[in-house]
Amino acid sequence: AKGLVSLRQRFGLTAADMGALLGVSAQTIYNWEAEKSTPRQKQLEAYAAVRGLGKKQVSARLAAMAG
């Protein structure tokens, strides 16, 4: 959970933005951060992929998702 929070802060993302990147809701992100639930394997894989990106790549992905 701490890793998710620090990653969001590093990229300057809202929970909604991080959720969009991982294919989940903002509430799910909050639940993971509060350790109320844990990500599934597919979501962990998406998280690992996002972790490997740079800030510009994350911004570009979000822009592409927004259309």
Residue 2 has pLDDT above 90, yes or no: no
User: What's the total number of domains in the chain?
Assistant: 1
pLDDT (0 to 100) of residue 1: 78
**Read out DSSP for 12-57?**
T--HHHHHHHHTS-HHHHHHHHTTSS---HHHHHHHHHHHTS-HHH
Query: Token pair of 6, please?
Result: 């620090």
HSE (side-chain half, CA atoms, 13 Å) at 12? 6
Q: Which CATH number do you get for residue 58?
A: 1.10.260.40
Range of the domain at 36: 2-66
pLDDT (0 to 100) of residue 9: 95
In this prediction, residues 59-65 reach a mean pLDDT of: 95
Type of residue at 40: R
pLDDT (0 to 100) of residue 23: 96
Read off the pLDDT of residues 3-44 as tens digits, 9 standing for 90 and up.
Answer: 999 999 999 999 999 999 999 999 999 999 999 999 999 999
CA angle 14/11/33 to nearest 5° reads 50
